[in-house]
Amino acid sequence: MVQRRHRGIRHLALRVTNLARSRHFYEQILGMRAVWEPDPDNVYFSSGIDNLALHQIPQNDLSTFQPPGAQFLDHLGIILESPEAVDQMYQELAPLIPPLGGRIVQEPKQHRDGSYSFYFADPDGNVIQALYEPTISRIQWVNEQP
């Protein structure tokens, strides 16, 4: 077995069809803050412990860009501290997501492993799971902000 030499998957990069729309979605729905904008086609966000990059698909590629019928990335997840936090987030975000170009994929539900979550999609269809998971939801990060 290979020795773990990393600190986790703390960075995600997504290609998007409309950078301004996706930027607004991630700022409004997940509270991400832009930390670097090297040019008009790229923005890098931070939550304080995670990093998300959005990369505009070049205009000359948009007309031929056809997302696959099935994507390889099933979903990405954000961790919440309790099932109640999942319900509260759902209540707050459910009315905001559709006007920002996203959609609710699945309402809150209990999973057989003891986790609890709901799923929503961003404007490009990337699915995000808002998740309480009994093991990792208890982890406290050293630089975690209130």
Q: Are residues 89 and 131 in the same domain?
A: yes
- The answer to whether 102 and 93 are in contact (CB under 8 A) is no
Q: Are residues 81 and 50 in the same domain?
A: no
Note down the domain range covering 91: 74-140
Q: Are residues 14 and 40 in the same domain?
A: yes
User: Total structural domains in the chain?
Assistant: 2
Q: How many CB atoms lie within 10 A of CB 130?
A: 22
DSSP character string of 51-109: EEEEEEPPHHHHTT----SS-S---EEEE-S-HHHHHHHHHHHTTTTGGGT-EEEEEEE
d(CA 99, CA 144): 30
Q: Is the pTM of this model over 0.75?
A: yes
10-30 pLDDT tens trace: 899 999 999 999 999 999 999
Q: Are residues 96 and 130 in the same domain?
A: yes
What is the pLDDT of the chain when averaged over all its residues? 90
62, amino acid identity: L
Amino acid 145: pLDDT: 54
Q: Are residues 79 and 114 in the same domain?
A: yes
pLDDT band at 143 (very low <50, low <70, confident <90, very high): low
- Looking up residue 97, the CATH number of its domain turns out to be 3.10.180.10
Amino acid 7: pLDDT: 74
The predicted model gives 105-124 an average pLDDT of 96
d(CA 38, CA 64): 26
Task: Give percent of the chain above pLDDT 90.
Answer: 71
Q: Are residues 19 and 42 in the same domain?
A: yes
Q: Are residues 117 and 91 in the same domain?
A: yes
Sheet with 76-79, edge to edge strand ranges: 76-79, 127-132, 116-121, 103-110
Establish if 80 belongs to a structural domain.
yes
Distance of CA 39 to the CA centre of its chain: 22
89-108 pLDDT tens trace: 999 999 999 999 999 999 99
